[in-house]
Amino acid sequence: MYANESEGSRLVRAASCEPTLFAEVAADGGATRGALVIVFGVALAAGIGHLPGGGLSGLLVGGARWLVAWALWLLTIHLGALALGHPSELGRLFRALGYASVPFALAALEWIPLLGALIWLAKWGIGFLAFMTGAREALELEHSSAALLCGVGLALAALALSLL
């Protein structure tokens, strides 16, 4: 963490996919709580995005779906890295991908008429880039390995979302 850096500053750096931020939080065991708060905050945002069409059940189901998809994506990257012969410490990856989840908070705005599709596209595009950067920095992977693992993880997370 930069000297005197606030958590808000970290969130901005995560949203801009700054590689050094993901390396810092991966190495900082104290960032675990912040990563956990972000993951649950994004789950709340995903639920809020489902409020207009689903009410309270939309809020609960939307949040739960995000948590399942995120956990599946995390585990796919972790196990995939191990299968490819890369060392992978789950705690480091958890922290980096927790912060990489920040762009997915855009889910709270997907209900906006006419803009919802663009917001959805931005959320997944920036989110994928953030996850790829976070995985690359946390696990010290090549770009191609990070892209492969994140792509497979995204496909499995999308499959889970479609089944839930």
What pLDDT score does 136 carry? Answer: 95
The pLDDT tens digits of the residues spanning 93-118 come to: 999 999 999 999 999 998 898 898 99
Is pLDDT of 1 > 60?
no
Joined together, the tokens standing for residue 23 give 């390396």
Is pLDDT of 2 > 90?
no
The pLDDT tens digits of the residues spanning 6-27 come to: 888 899 999 999 999 999 999 9
What pLDDT score does 3 carry? Answer: 54
3-state secondary structure the chain: CCCCCCHHHHHHHHHCCCHHHHHHHHHCHHHHHHHHHHHHHHHHHHHHHHHHHHHHHHHHHHHHHHHHHHHHHHHHHHHHHHHCCCCCCHHHHHHHHHHHCHHHHHHHHCCCCCCHHHHHHHHHHHHHHHHHHHHHHHHCCCHHHHHHHHHHHHHHHHHHHHHC
